[in-house]
A and B are shown apart, each in its own frame.
Chain A
Amino acid sequence: MSDLAWIHAAITAARPQAVGALLRYFRDLETAEEAFQDACLRALNNWPRNGPPRDAAAWLIMVGRNAALDGVRKRARQTELPPEEVLSDLDDAEDRAASRIDEADYRDDVLRLLFICCHPDLPPPQQIALALRIVSGLSVKQIAKAFLVSEAAMEQRITRAKARVAAGDAAFETPGPVERAERLAQVAAMLYLVFNEGYSAGDNPARAELCGEAIRLTRLLLRLYQTEPEIMGLLALMLIQHSRTPARFDADGQIVLLDDQDRGLWDRNAIAEGLALIDKAMRHRRPGPYQVQAAIAALHARAATPADTDWVEIDQLYATLERLTPSPVVTLNRAVAVSKVAGPEAALAMIEPLGDRLSGYFHFHGLVGALNLELGHTAAARTAFDKAISLAGTAAEAAHIRQHLDQLMAEHAPPRSTSARAN
C-alpha cells in the first residue's frame, strides 16, 4: 500500500476519536471539524517525511487544538483585544491540551460524537447523513451519491441537521452509568440504521459501502465498551448479514434469495467473527434484540445447505424476539420460519391479522403471495404479488416479484404444471 493510502486509512480510523476530543474541547462542531481538517493537512505534509506517529489520534488532536488556538489568537490580535488576558487564558488551555489524553475520555468523546447524531428531532435519514459526514468523514458528494440526491440537496440536509444539533444540548457533561447506557442504546440503533441503509440498497454500490462503514463504527464502539453484550450482538448481526453480500445479487443485479444463494461465496471471515461475538455475548446471559437477531442469522450461516437450516430453533428465537420487541414485522419474519416448520397454511393464518398494519409493506405482500403460491391459491398469489410490486422500494425488489408473476403465468397456461417454488 502506498504511503498516501496508509495515511488516508490512519486518518479515517482516527477521525471519530479526534473529532470527538476536539468537540469536547471546543464545544462547537464547526470549530472541531475545522481543527481536524487543519490537522489532517499538516499530517499529509508531516507524516511522509517523519513517518506516521505512534498514536495518530493523539497527534491529530494536539495539532488540531494548536491550529485552532492559533486561529483564535490571530483573530484576537486583529480585533486588538487586551492581548495579555487572552494569551494567559490560552496558556492555561494549552497546559490542559498538553496533558495526557485519557482513555476514559476517548470513550465518552466517541460516544458523544455518535450520540449527537441521534438527536431526537432529527428524522432517521438526517441522523444517518450527519453520522456519515461528521463521524465517518465521508464527503457530501459521497453521501449524496449514496442517497441518490443532488450534492446541493445533501449539503442543505446536513447543514440543517447540524444547526438543529447546535441549537440543542449537546450533552457535554460526562455521562453517568444510566445515561451512558441510554446513549449506547440510541447510538446502536442509529448504527443499525446506517447498516440497513446500505444493506437494502443492493444495486447501488455507493450505498452498499455504508454497511462496511456501520461495521467499522460498531467495532470501534465495541472496542470502547468491551463488555456490552448487545453491542457484541449488533456487530455479529451486521457481520453475518454482510457476509452474504457477494451472493445476494446475480450478475444482472437480480435478488438471489437465501435458499438459492451460493453459500461458497459467503465471507467466512465475517461469519467466524460474528459467531465468536455471539459466543461471547451469550456468556453474559443478558439477552437483547440484537443478540437474538444475530443468533438467527448465525443459524443460517451455520447451515451448509438450505435443507440443513434449523427452522425449529429459528422459530423459537423469533418467539423470543416477539417477546422482547413485539412488532408486526417480527411476526412476519417468524411466519417464514413457521411456514417451514408447520407449513404455509399455519404461516398464512399467523400473518393474516397483520394485514391492516402492514398493508403498505412490500415484504408482507411478497410473503402472502409466496405462501398462497405454495398452497396453489394462484388468484390470491397474483393479487398479493401485484400489490408487492406497487410497493417495491428498489428495481431489484420489483424484478424479483415479477419473476414470481411470470412463473405463475407460465405455469397456468398449461395447467398440468404444479411445481410451486418456495421462497
Chain B
Amino acid sequence: MAMLYALLCYNDEDTVWAWDKAQEAEAMDALGRVRAPLERAGKMGPSLRLLPTTAATTLRKSDPPLVIDGPFAETKEQLLGFYIIDVADLDAALQVAKDLGAANPGGAYEIRPLAAYNAGGPIGAAEPVAATS
C-alpha cells in the first residue's frame, strides 16, 4: 500500500536566494530531472517553492488574532518549499529525498507522513501577478 509523504525542504534562504541566474537554472534543471520520472510514474504530486520568509506574514490565532511580520519561527534554516510524494514506504521516501538532495545539495529534507490530503480545486493562474490584474 502506498503512503503519502511531504518532503519539507529546509535550507539557509540567504544562500539559496543569493544564487545567480546560472546557479538557479542549474539547480532547478537538476531537480526537474529527478521530478519528471516520478511525476510520470504517479509518485509525485504537487511540488512548490516558497518566496523568502521576508515576504511572510504570521497570524497568531489568539483572541484577537495577532498579525506578525515574518515567518512563524525564526530558524537557522527556513522552510523553502515542499513536495508531496506517494511511495511504498519510508525507505522509498528517503530514496526520493536522497535523489533530490544529490541534485541540490545543502540543507535538509524533513520527511513527514501525511494525515490527510485535499487535492483542492483549480486555483487559476499559476502566476500570482496575472491573478491580481
Please report A residues at the B interface, Cβ cutoff 8 Å: 1, 3, 5-6, 9-10, 12-14, 52, 54-56, 103, 209, 212, 216, 219-220, 222-223, 226-227, 232, 235, 268-269, 271-273, 275-277, 280, 283, 301-304, 308
Contact = CB atoms under 8 A, between A and B. Distances in A.
Contacts of A6: 15, 105-106
A1 B104 contact: yes
Give the 10 A-B residue pairs with the shortest CB-CB distance, closest first.
A226-B70, A13-B14, A13-B15, A276-B55, A272-B128, A226-B69, A222-B54, A227-B69, A273-B51, A271-B129
Contacts of A54: 76-77
Contacts of B55: 273, 276-277, 280
24 contacts: A1-B30, A1-B104, A6-B105, A10-B15, A14-B14, A54-B76, A54-B77, A55-B76, A209-B20, A212-B20, A223-B53, A223-B54, A227-B70, A232-B54, A268-B128, A271-B129, A272-B127, A272-B128, A273-B51, A276-B51, A280-B69, A303-B133, A304-B130, A304-B133
Given A6-B106, A10-B12, A277 B18 contact: no
Nearest to B27: A1
Interface residues of B, number: 32
A195 B12 CA distance: 23
Contact of A1 (B17, B23, B54, B69): B23
Given A1-B23, A1-B27, A308 B51 contact: no
B20 A220 contact: no
A103 B54 contact: no
A110 B9 CA distance: 27
Nearest to B132: A302
A275 B128 contact: yes
A272 B76 contact: no
A10 B77 CA distance: 12
A234 B19 CA distance: 20
B74 interface: yes
Most chain A C-beta atoms within 10 Å of own C-beta, residue among B15, B30, B55, B77:
B55
A404 B52 CA distance: 42
Most chain A C-beta atoms within 10 Å of own C-beta, residue among B23, B26, B105, B130:
B105
B36 interface: no
Given A219-B17, A277-B55, 10 more contacts: A1-B26, A1-B105, A5-B23, A6-B106, A9-B18, A12-B15, A226-B54, A271-B129, A272-B51, A273-B55
Main secondary structure of the interface of A (DSSP, over half): helix
A235 to B, nearest CB: 7
B23 A12 contact: no
Most chain B C-beta atoms within 10 Å of own C-beta, residue among A9, A216, A277:
A9
Contacts of A235: 54
Contacts of A303: 133
Most chain B C-beta atoms within 10 Å of own C-beta, residue among A220, A226, A277, A308:
A226
B57 interface: yes
Contacts of B27: 1
A283 B77 CA distance: 27
B67 interface: yes
Interface string B105-132: 1100000000000000000000111101
Contacts of A222: 54
A302 B77 CA distance: 32
A283 B17 contact: no
B117 to A, nearest CB: 26
A268 B54 contact: no
Most chain A C-beta atoms within 10 Å of own C-beta, residue among B14, B74, B77, B106:
B14
B14 A302 contact: no
Contacts of A277: 54-55
A199 B70 CA distance: 28
